[in-house]
């Protein structure tokens, strides 16, 4: 598919650099769309200790399901990067960040609650509504 379509899906999935959609495969009969996600980074920060500019140790194949795209089951496939860190000596998998990654979801929720506290000080603070 065209570069523009892949850019569109990268944005729609909320993928963050260095991750992007390289290929998409829509199967209308199976009502399923598969995305091949790639990282272009050769060096990344260590997720364990935070040391910057560490080399890629290896890549591990992973497949996982995303929220559906309309009526289509959406699946992501990627060779997940593992960093071999010179600073802490650990080999750590670097997570693929996208919209619906639970940690990011929780962060947005906390951020939203913080915003509520800032803008509407008279509102009770103990509500935990879904959004």
Site for Zn ion (CB under 5 A): which residue of 8, 41, 51, 80?
Answer: 51
Does residue 56 touch Zn ion according to CB under 5 A?
no
DSSP category for residue 1: -
* Nearest distance from C-beta of residue 80 to Zn ion, angstroms: 17
Instruction: Count CA atoms closer than 13 A to 68's CA, side-chain side.
Output: 6
Q: Which of residues 87-106 bind Zn ion (CB under 5 A)?
A: 87-88
16 binding Zn ion? (CB under 5 A): no
Binding region for Zn ion (CB under 5 A) out of 4-12, 15-23, 35-43, 79-87: 79-87
In the block, tokens 């209308």 appear at 28
Of the listed pieces 6-14, 18-26, 41-49, 123-131, which binds Zn ion according to CB under 5 A?
A: 41-49
Backbone torsions φ then ψ of 11, nearest 5 degrees = -70, -45
Stretch that binds Zn ion, among 21-29, 49-57, 58-66, 120-128 (CB under 5 A): 49-57
Buried b (16+ CB within 10 A) or exposed e, 21-47: bbebeeeeeeebbbbebbbeeeebebb
Strand, helix or coil for residue 36: strand
**Paired residues of 23 in beta bridges:** 36
Name the minimum Å distance from CB 79 to Zn ion: 21
Quote the least distance from Cβ 93 to Zn ion, whole Å. 12
Binding site for Zn ion (CB under 5 A): 46, 48-49, 51, 85, 87-88
């Amino acid at each position: 598919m065209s570069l523009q379509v892949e850019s569109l899906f990268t944005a729609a999935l909320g993928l963050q650099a260095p991750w992007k959609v390289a290929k998409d495969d829509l199967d209308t009969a199976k009502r399923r769309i598969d995305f091949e996600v790639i990282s272009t980074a050769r060096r990344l920060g260590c997720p364990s200790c935070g040391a910057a500019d560490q080399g890629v140790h290896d890549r591990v194949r992973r497949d996982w399901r995303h929220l559906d795209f309309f009526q289509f089951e959406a699946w992501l496939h990627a060779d997940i990067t593992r960093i071999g860190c010179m600073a802490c000596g650990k080999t750590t998998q670097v997570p693929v960040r996208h919209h619906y990654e639970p940690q990011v979801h929780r962060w947005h929720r906390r951020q939203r609650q913080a915003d509520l506290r800032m803008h509407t000080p008279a509102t009770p603070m103990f509500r935990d509504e879904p959004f």
